[in-house]
Structure 1
Amino acid sequence: MTIDTSARSGTSAAAPAPGRLTGRARLILFVLCAAQFMVALDFSVLNVALPVLGADLGLGRSALQWAVTAFALPSGGFLLLFGRVGDLYGRRRLLLAGLALFGAASLLAACAWDPASFLAGRALQGLGAAMIVPTGMSLLTTTFPEGPQRDRALGISGTLLSLGFTTGMVLGGVMTDTLGWRSTMGLLAVCALVVLPLAVVLLPESRTPVRPRLDVPGAVTVTGGLLALIHALSTAAERGFGGRDVQLTLVAGVVLLVAFTVVESRHGAPLVSLPMLRRRTVAFGNLGGLVTFSMMSAVVFVLTLYLQETLGLSAFGTGLVFGVQGLLSAAAGTVAARVIGRFGARRTLAGSLLGQGLFVALLLGIGPSSGVLLAAVGVSLASVCHLGAIVAYGLTVTSGVPDAEQGLATGLVTTTQQVGLTVGIPLLGALATAGPDLYGGVRTVLAADAAIVLTAAAVIALGLRTSRGSRRAGRAQDERA
């Protein structure tokens, strides 16, 4: 995805005042943030409704993960492709198409009559989200010039994304208990219906002045590889790796991802710049982002099942537990910048992952008949560290990258976020629901989750420290020469 600062039109909406936003610019920012907020809401509003939804539609416990994964897979897999399509053919145009598709898909999911129709609606929602997220971010960066205005716009956007996830958890519980789980999908349809006409009236068109070739082979191979790999691993978590279908799908996923790297190395305008991925800050920074998003989403998923099915908590009560998590995370957002300013983004990234892993390990103390307080405290503290890792990994990835390549780096940050949200739940969530003992499965997931996060923290700390050491050695060699 290419995010440039040279919009053909629309910059004038924000240009007149160097530090303040005009009335029209505020309206544009409201529309763009509302679209992103709606997508963030979709990632969480259904979580606490999953047990009720499963009982209503006939989705077994082991299949509940697909209610989340059916949305997350297309939203992550098609993100890079739609970012480039927006660059070529108009970001506003694609954003409007994404809003329309998202609204229609939400209505389909709300009216679903069986698991197939519901999962189809969720998949189409994910496809719409894949259009909305990159084009919305590109429109924001092209409408608001670099400097105080863009900093303010990005800060507001990031805060609303965090609030969207938190609001979804609380609203999901309230609406499921009072109006039923279908109301959560109906809410998203209403949101799209409100945002779409405002976007038609207010948003300027924007596309990159230089039209790169569309990397369709790259998009096809990376999307197909991701779909195959996730399906194979999530199925294996339920039935083991002995099944022929699991083995064939796993091999197909690996082959397609290898083919993707070959395609990207030869394409003139690749979706992912392989030379950029060789930068240590980019590679280890994105590893941190992938781990923190995937592992935290898995924790939220399995704790939702634990609180409702093991402890018998209502959907509303579960929403309140995660509401505490959201409030602490929002407060942590004001502290993260200060911590990074003092210790640096790289140390903050490794330290935040360390804290996230330790607090997830603390959740192993939950019991089969009690543990609401420990669950609330543990997941909230882990989420505080999670937010620090989110901020730090974005700064780590983009630090030291030339201005001409900032768009590619930002695209990788966004893609890592979406892929992380995609892979965590199917890979670890399936472990919790595969056996007859849900409580034991939840503890297995928490232990595996904590181990993965702590290992990643150590690897990233070592990798980024080696990076600094290599640069110092290089400078010393240059001085001796």
Structure 2
Amino acid sequence: MAIDTTTETATPTPPLGTSRSPRMSTRDKLVLFVLCAAQFMVALDFSVLNVALPVLGADLGMSPSALQWAVTAFALPSGGFLLLFGRIGDLYGRRKLFLTGLALFAGASVLATFAWDPASFLAGRALQGLGAAVIVPTGMSLLTTTFAEGPARDRALGISGTLMSLGFSIGVVAGGVLTDALGWRSTMGLLAVFALVVLPLAPGLLPESLPHSLKGMGGAPIPNRPHLDVPGAITVTGGLLSLIYALTTAADDGFARADVIATLIAGLALLAAFAVVESRTESPLVSLPMLRRRTVAWGNLGGLVTFSMMSTVVFVLTLYLQEVLGLSAWETGLVFGVQGVMSVLAGSLTPRFISCLGARRILVVSLAGQGAFGVALLFLNAHVWSVWLVTAAVSLASMFHLGAIISYGLTVTSGVPDEEQGLATGLVTSTQQVGITIGIPLLGVLATTSGDLLSGTRTVLALDAAIVLAAAALIAVGLRTGRTAGSGESGSGAVEAEPVGSR
């Protein structure tokens, strides 16, 4: 992709949310709408197609074994290129890259909607994933650099996190409704409409985002601007692509396949090589000192656990509700629709709790709550009344899950300089993508291979709850020496970027 390395000379826009009024201005709201709508669109893409896969396969002539590529073709680029595009946005302008990603996603969605054979459909899905890999890190870094650190950013991230969680939940329901009413192509058409609505609004609203420290006088580029770490980009992108391929393939076919084993080993080897490259380059793609910060290391662990374990819960309970309790796909969607409503409620409350208690405390409490309601799910059985237990426990667990999403993002990005926000948010979103990817193959397959789906579901839920509760305890200890920036534990809950292992 050719990137324009010239900076725009528009007058810098001050951070939003810094006006005297405690309320967001109309422009603040419009900027937030554009950024959150784009994130919602990507979250919707993760789930809206799942219910439509059998119909899609019959229409395009794709075998059941080939249908996994409808998911994998999106997951590979969307997860593999996040760090790379986050850093490119840091160096060459996030606004430009964000707009490019929106345009690519819109075009890819149109291609997938009107696909005439499996190859054209999978090409559209792969380009959607590439567009998502551009939109997610640049959109998040635009949000964190546009809204000033403190209550304004807390509120913006709260709304963004809520809509991302809601987008995934709505996708499950909307996918079934649209497929039954209009066919599978309408699921891809919905994404195209979203992108084409947001794209014309973005250029006039979003401020230029190239960090001021990378500009010279009058906005001209400075001669010694950091260069893109090409060896680091190759190794980390190749490592993530290999790892995501291995895990998504193993979710359907197990870990015994030769290509799964080979790509898993290759992915781990490339990520190890990436760590070596980053320790020796002058302009690293990932700053190793950043990874040694307590907030970054422990915050990303919290994000990895909350995403991987919640995606596992949704997967195994979807099977349980339909195979054990006999619910239809539509009724199952309604159960998870309640989850989405509770996530909206959590999104409005979490920033208020963070302003009082700090992001790191809310992260620990949220993980503990998510794990506790996972324990409650161990009481489900084959009787139909268990649907009420599932609805209540999953909905309440989702409230804490949403709290963990918001607080881990704030924990990782607070105190990070603007010129490194793309890198920080790239780590946040990479953690999110890897978490969603690894949970199901690592734990979810136990439910389907145990012979008895009910006992297998209970085993997975027990392991899931144990991992989340253990992570909450570890993070509480790991961040015990953190201090809020400024005085007390109020405000955004930003903790100092203290190196791991220091005291």
TM-score exceeds 0.5: yes
Indicate the SS of the match to 1:272: coil
Q: Quick one: which of 66, 69, 74 aligns to 1:71?
A: 74
Between 1:268-277 and 1:367-376, the stretch displaced more is 367-376
Q: What is the CA distance between 1:103 and its match in structure 2?
A: 1.8
Indicate the SS of the match to 1:465: coil
- CA–CA distance in structure 1, aligned partners of residues 203 and 349 of structure 2: 37
Aligned residues: 466
- Residue 104 of structure 2 corresponds to which residue in structure 1? 101
**Alpha carbon RMSD of aligned pairs, Å?**
3.6
Label 1:59 to 1:308 Cα distance change in 2 as closer, same or farther (>3 A). farther
- CA–CA distance in structure 2, aligned partners of residues 427 and 438 of structure 1: 16
8 A contact 1:359–1:382 mirrored in 2? yes
With normalisation by structure 1, the TM-score equals 0.82
- CA–CA distance in structure 2, aligned partners of residues 355 and 41 of structure 1: 25
Indicate the SS of the match to 2:279: helix
8 A contact 1:59–1:115 mirrored in 2? yes
- CA–CA distance in structure 2, aligned partners of residues 266 and 256 of structure 1: 16
Instruction: Find out whether 1:359 has 2:360 as its counterpart.
Output: no
- Residue 282 of structure 1 corresponds to which residue in structure 2? 296
8 A contact 1:7–1:208 mirrored in 2? no
- Residue 318 of structure 2 corresponds to which residue in structure 1? 304
- Residue 41 of structure 1 corresponds to which residue in structure 2? 44
Q: What is the CA distance between 1:251 and its match in structure 2?
A: 1.7
Q: Per-residue displacement from partner, 1:1-38 (whole Å, max 9, x unpaired)?
A: xxxxx985364487795536555554443323322221
- CA–CA distance in structure 2, aligned partners of residues 18 and 328 of structure 1: 32
Between 1:296-305 and 1:437-446, the stretch displaced more is 437-446
Instruction: Find out whether 1:258 has 2:243 as its counterpart.
Output: no
8 A contact 1:306–1:438 mirrored in 2? yes
**Matched letter for residue 176 of structure 1:** T
Percent of aligned pairs with the same amino acid: 72
- Residue 341 of structure 2 corresponds to which residue in structure 1? 327
Between 1:415-424 and 1:435-444, the stretch displaced more is 435-444
8 A contact 1:14–1:25 mirrored in 2? no
- CA–CA distance in structure 1, aligned partners of residues 53 and 465 of structure 2: 24
Q: Quick one: which of 160, 176, 191 aligns to 2:194?
A: 191
- Residue 3 of structure 2 corresponds to which residue in structure 1? none
- CA–CA distance in structure 2, aligned partners of residues 28 and 342 of structure 1: 26
Q: What is the CA distance between 1:433 and its match in structure 2?
A: 4.7
- CA–CA distance in structure 2, aligned partners of residues 310 and 214 of structure 1: 52
- CA–CA distance in structure 2, aligned partners of residues 36 and 344 of structure 1: 25
- Residue 129 of structure 1 corresponds to which residue in structure 2? 132
- CA–CA distance in structure 2, aligned partners of residues 12 and 340 of structure 1: 27
8 A contact 2:247–2:438 mirrored in 1? no
- Residue 465 of structure 2 corresponds to which residue in structure 1? 450
Q: Quick one: which of 31, 35, 40 aligns to 1:32?
A: 35
- Residue 10 of structure 2 corresponds to which residue in structure 1? 9
- Residue 90 of structure 2 corresponds to which residue in structure 1? 87
- CA–CA distance in structure 1, aligned partners of residues 442 and 106 of structure 2: 29
Gaps of 5+ in 2: 1-6, 215-224, 484-495, 497-502
- CA–CA distance in structure 1, aligned partners of residues 134 and 300 of structure 2: 22
Q: What is the CA distance between 1:222 and its match in structure 2?
A: 1.6
Q: What is the CA distance between 1:220 and its match in structure 2?
A: 2.1
8 A contact 1:235–1:246 mirrored in 2? yes
Q: What is the CA distance between 1:183 and its match in structure 2?
A: 1.5
Q: Per-residue displacement from partner, 1:139-189 (whole Å, max 9, x unpaired)?
A: 344555556665554454344334433433332232233223331111001
Q: Per-residue displacement from partner, 1:430-479 (whole Å, max 9, x unpaired)?
A: 444557765555444334322322332232233333778xx9xxxxxx9x
- CA–CA distance in structure 2, aligned partners of residues 52 and 442 of structure 1: 27
**Matched letter for residue 9 of structure 1:** A
Label 1:237 to 1:366 Cα distance change in 2 as closer, same or farther (>3 A). same
8 A contact 2:77–2:130 mirrored in 1? yes
